[in-house]
C-alpha cells in the first residue's frame, strides 16, 4: 500500500505543475494521470484509481 501512495504522490507532483490541474482540478488530474499511467492494464488502472481516492479522502 505504501508503494501505491508513493506512486500517487509522484503523480500528484506532476499534476500540480501540469495542465491537468488547471483544466479540471487536482482530483480530476490525479484520476486522468492514474489511468494514463496504467495504460491498457485494467487492474493497474483500478489500483491507481483506488489509491487516488484514498489519498483524496486523507487530504480533504
Mean pLDDT, consecutive 10-residue segments, the chain of 60 residues?
Answer: 71 53 61 73 79 77
Residue 54's pLDDT is 82
Domain ranges of the chain: 2-59
How many CB atoms within 10 Å of residue 15?
24
Report how far residue 17's alpha carbon sits from residue 14's, in angstroms, rounded to the nearest whole number. Answer: 6
Residue 26's pLDDT is 67
- pTM for the full model? 0.46
Residue 11's pLDDT is 66
According to DSSP, residue 18 is labeled: S
Amino acid at each position: 500500500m505504501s508503494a501505491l501512495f508513493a506512486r500517487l504522490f509522484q503523480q500528484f507532483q506532476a499534476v500540480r505543475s501540469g495542465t491537468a490541474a488547471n483544466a479540471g482540478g487536482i482530483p480530476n488530474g490525479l484520476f486522468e494521470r492514474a489511468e494514463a499511467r496504467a495504460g491498457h492494464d485494467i487492474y493497474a488502472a483500478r489500483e491507481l484509481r483506488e489509491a487516488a481516492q484514498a489519498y483524496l479522502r486523507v487530504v480533504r
